[in-house]
């Protein structure tokens, strides 16, 4: 059973459909593993075994009916704890939100459940998601499953640790500046930051219907790219409650057509040195793609420093102002990491609308504003 915890969604789904394992047996195995490893990893914020077992019984009953099964029937998944799940806390890593209990689930939670998934629990984040280290004063630090002394990354660190440790077959994170990609990298799993508008952020905190939604998105995380693709296909699509979503279809691209895509290997010297191991890994990946028939091109991204300045304007200078009023006078309850973020992002006065609009222009128009 231990090897099953690291199986792909497709592999486990096939076992369920072949009735070699029932959703109840699979869930019980997952819950036992969570009970054994949660004290070491601290990946979870909330668990609901009773609700999960009820869902597993329903999935098992669905098998006995010999009717078409939903794509995720009986698969245990997890959710980053900044997404609303009705009746479960949505603290987003903060003491200030410890009693925040939504009455309605996020759109992506409803879509996963409609696809047959069993939502086991929610996973840890830094306070208000604003750090690359998953630690907070409410639920503490999440460790890296490969080395407990190391960081799982952030802000989707609890999700990445749970998936990497075989406590979840996949799940949902969110990303405005690396919050899916960094912990996925740290923990050795796969994660996707999709194009804004592809997956609804309804029920996410911070809300996506403001400047956060311009750079912050909801995205899938799993141990394989194939699983990420499957989750994306289920999550993607417009939502009436999220005005930023678009009705864009998911295209099926053949292997031959994909090989006509130009793949760039970025020269990152403009943003700082990389370790020899990182450079070797990227070079090796490029060679493997080239051997598979893809066209590989080295390239440089000009004015990248200006793009980083623009990103910090939104992620730091502007978004920090969205928190300023809510945390004023409550500094003693905030985590040190979040206090550092607010101090780094502090501005002398609020950003005037004209300056905000000016800095929102396309990057090739930024020169007059000295970004």
The 10s digit of each residue's pLDDT in 2-39 is 589 999 999 999 999 999 999 999 999 999 999 999 99
pLDDT of residue 370: 36
Asked if the peptide bond before residue 190 counts as cis, ω within 30 degrees of 0, the response is: no
The mean pLDDT value for 109-121 works out to 98
What lies within 8 Å, CB to CB, of 365 at 6+ separation is none
Residue 363 confidence (pLDDT) above 80: no
Average pLDDT over residues 158-181: 97
CB proximity list for 35: less than 8 A, separation 6 or greater: none
- Statement: residue 132 has pLDDT above 80: yes
Q: What is the mean pLDDT of residues 146-153?
A: 98
Give the C-alpha separation, 255 to 367, whole Å: 41
**Percent of the chain at pLDDT above 90?**
75
pLDDT at position 138 is 98
Predicted confidence (pLDDT) per residue in 303-328, tens digit: 777 888 888 888 888 889 889 989 99
Are 241 and 107 within 8 A, CB to CB? yes
CA distance 164 to 365: 42
pLDDT of residue 362: 53
Give yes or no: 179 in active site. Answer: yes
Q: Write out the DSSP string of 153-211.
A: -SSSHHHHHHHHTTS-S-EEEEESSSTTHHHHHHHT-EE--PPTTSS--TTBSS-SSST
pLDDT at position 211 is 63
Give the tens place of pLDDT for each residue, 210-249: 666 778 999 999 999 999 999 999 999 999 999 999 999 9
Per residue in 247-289, pLDDT tens?
Answer: 999 988 898 998 988 999 988 776 678 889 989 999 999 999 9
HSE, CB side, 13 Å, CA atoms: give it for residue 46.
25
How high is the pLDDT of residue 22?
96
Alpha-carbon distance of 43 to 168, in angstroms, equals 11
Count other Cβ atoms within 10 Å, centred on residue 278.
12
Q: Which of 59-68, 191-200, 255-264, 318-327 has the highest mean pLDDT?
A: 191-200
pLDDT tier at 334 (50, 70, 90 boundaries)? very high
Residues 110/53, Cβ–Cβ less than 8 Å: no
pLDDT at residue 348, rounded to an integer: 73
- One DSSP character per residue, 219-233 reads EEEESSHHHHHHHHH
- Check 22, 105, 151, 179 and give the catalytic one: 179
DSSP-derived secondary structure for 52-97? HHHHHHHHHHHHHTT-PPPTTTT-EEEEETTB--TTS---TT-GGG
pLDDT band at residue 366 under the 50/70/90 scheme: very low
List beta partners, residue 86. none
- 344: helix, coil or strand? helix
DSSP 274: -
pLDDT score recorded for residue 361: 59
Q: Between these two residues, 2 and 77, which has the higher pLDDT value?
A: 77
Cα–Cα distance between 289 and 259 in angstroms, integer? 9
Residue 131, CA distances (Å) to 25, 55, 128, 181 in order: 37, 34, 8, 13
HSE-up of residue 34 (Cα within 13 Å, Cβ side): 27
Residue 368 has pLDDT above 70, yes or no: no
Q: How far apart are CA 157 and CA 165, in angstroms?
A: 12
Q: How far apart are CA 295 and CA 188, in angstroms?
A: 26
Is 260 considered catalytic here? no
Residues 60 and 24: beta-carbon distance below 8 Å: yes
Residue 319 or residue 361, greater confidence? 319
> To the nearest whole number, what is the mean pLDDT of the chain?
91
Backbone angles phi, psi at 172, to 5 degrees: -125, 130
Identified catalytic residue from 94, 105, 152, 155: 155
Q: Which of 13, 80, 105, 152 is catalytic?
A: 80
Whether 353 shows a pLDDT value over 90: the answer reads no
Give pLDDT, residue 347: 80
Closest CA to 221 of 166, 180, 182, 187: 180
């Amino acid at each position: 059973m231990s090897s099953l915890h690291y199986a792909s969604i497709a592999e486990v789904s096939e076992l369920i459909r072949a009735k070699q394992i029932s959703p109840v047996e699979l869930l019980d195995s997952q819950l036992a593993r969570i009970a054994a490893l949660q004290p070491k990893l601290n990946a979870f914020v909330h668990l609901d075994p009773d609700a999960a077992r009820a869902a597993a019984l329903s999935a098992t009953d669905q098998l006995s009916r010999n009717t078409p099964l939903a794509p995720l029937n009986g698969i245990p998944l997890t959710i980053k704890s900044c997404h609303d799940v009705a009746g479960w806390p949505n603290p987003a890593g903060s003491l200030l939100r410890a009693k925040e209990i939504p009455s309605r689930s996020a759109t992506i939670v409803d879509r996963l459940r409609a696809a047959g998934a069993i939502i086991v629990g929610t996973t840890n984040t830094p306070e208000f998601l604003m750090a690359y280290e998953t630690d907070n004063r409410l639920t503490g630090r999440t460790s890296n499953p490969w080395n407990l002394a190391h960081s799982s990354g952030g802000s989707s660190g609890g999700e990445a640790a749970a998936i990497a440790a075989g406590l979840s077959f996949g799940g949902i994170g969110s990303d405005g500046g690396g919050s899916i990609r960094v912990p996925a990298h740290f923990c050795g799993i796969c994660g996707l930051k999709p194009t804004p508008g592809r997956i609804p952020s309804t029920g996410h905190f911070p809300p996506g219907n403001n400047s956060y939604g311009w750079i912050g998105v909801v995205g899938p995380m799993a141990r394989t790219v194939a699983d990420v693709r499957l989750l994306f296909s289920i999550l993607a699509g417009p939502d009436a409650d999220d005005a930023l979503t678009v009705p864009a279809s998911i295209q099926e691209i053949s292997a031959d057509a994909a090989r006509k895509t130009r793949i760039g290997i970025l020269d990152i010297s403009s943003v700082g040195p990389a370790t020899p191991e990182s450079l070797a890994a990227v070079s090796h990946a490029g060679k493997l793609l080239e051997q598979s028939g893809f066209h590989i091109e080295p390239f440089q991204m000009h004015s990248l420093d200006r793009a980083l300045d623009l990103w910090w304007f939104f992620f730091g200078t502007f978004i920090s102002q969205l928190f300023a009023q809510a945390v004023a006078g409550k500094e003693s309850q905030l985590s040190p990491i979040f206090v550092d973020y607010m101090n780094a992002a502090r501005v002398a006065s609020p950003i005037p609308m004209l300056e905000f609009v000016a800095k929102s222009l396309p990057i090739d128009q930024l020169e007059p504003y000295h970004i």
